[in-house]
Amino acid sequence: MTAIPLRITVLDTWDEVRLAVPTGMTVAEVKSRALDAAQVAMPPGDYLLKFRGAEVPEEATVAEAGLVPNGALIVLPRRRIPAR
């Protein structure tokens, strides 16, 4: 199985996490690893992962989701943050 590099911005910290992940890894695992790397303590289920503006299904693999090498993804809370 090949690995591809991904750039993932975690909205809670605005950290960009760089991960090399196998194409057979699920999107849920990618999201969890990104949150761990950014040291976010909230449960991964409270977050979603977006690619090119659309939510990526968590049960899909990296290959099935169409993620590309060095693709820019974002992890953000499922619930909207109120503006002040």
Say if CB 5 and CB 69 are below 8 A apart: yes
Look at residues 66, 81, 82 and name the one whose alpha carbon lies nearest to residue 11: 81
Q: Which CATH class is domain 3-77?
A: alpha beta
Residues 77 and 40: their CA atoms lie apart, in Å, by 11
Residue 12 is predicted with a pLDDT of 86
Short-list 17, 11, 31, 26, CA closest to 65? 26
Query: Within the chain, which residues score under 50 in pLDDT?
Result: none
Q: What is the domain partition of the chain in residue ranges?
A: 3-77
pLDDT digits (tens, 9 = 90+) for 27-41: 999 999 999 999 998
Alpha helices in the chain (DSSP H): 27-37
Check residue 13 and give its pLDDT.
86
pLDDT for the residue 1 = 66
